[in-house]
């Protein structure tokens, strides 16, 4: 069975600082990995996804993530946080024939 663990339910950074949100996955098949963002009272918006190919994936709003098979990780980063990045972030995994599994989420707070 697949699963996702997001380390840290809350992350707080200063505006302009590096954002690092951690995600580790477990999958018995080659995984497809996703990061979604959820703003208050809204649905989920795709930031980026990894399916095959290049392990460094660039997404919207300056976010990127690197698939590291040896570490079973897919951490999300952004070089410089902006106030508008404050939201809930979800990592998700699915493999062929399986349903999508989401992590519990990480709430990002950006301090001025």
Residues that bind other proteins (CB under 8 A): 4, 32, 34, 36, 41-46, 49, 51-52, 90, 92, 94-105
d(CA 106, CA 104): 7
Q: Beta partners for 53? A: none
Residue placing its CB nearer to other proteins in the complex, 18 or 46: 46
- Show Cβ contacts of residue 86 under 8 Å, excluding neighbours closer than 6 positions: 108, 109, 110
Q: Beta partners for 88? A: 38, 107
Q: Minimum distance between the CB of residue 80 and other proteins, rounded to whole angstroms?
A: 26
Residue placing its CB nearer to other proteins in the complex, 78 or 101: 101
Nearest CA-CA partner of 19 in 104, 95, 93, 107: 107
Q: Minimum distance between the CB of residue 87 and other proteins, rounded to whole angstroms?
A: 14
Q: Minimum distance between the CB of residue 70 and other proteins, rounded to whole angstroms?
A: 21
């Amino acid at each position: 069975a697949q699963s996702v663990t997001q380390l840290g339910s809350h992350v707080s950074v200063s505006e302009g600082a590096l954002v690092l949100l951690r995600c580790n996955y477990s999958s018995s098949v080659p995984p497809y990995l996703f990061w979604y963002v959820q703003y208050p009272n809204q649905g989920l918006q795709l930031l980026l996804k990894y399916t095959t190919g290049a392990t460094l994936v660039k997404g919207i709003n300056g976010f990127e993530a690197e698939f590291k098979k040896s570490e079973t990780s897919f951490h999300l980063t952004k070089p410089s946080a902006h106030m508008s990045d404050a939201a809930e972030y979800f990592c998700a995994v699915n493999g062929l024939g399986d349903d999508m599994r989401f992590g519990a989420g990480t709430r990002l707070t950006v301090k001025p």
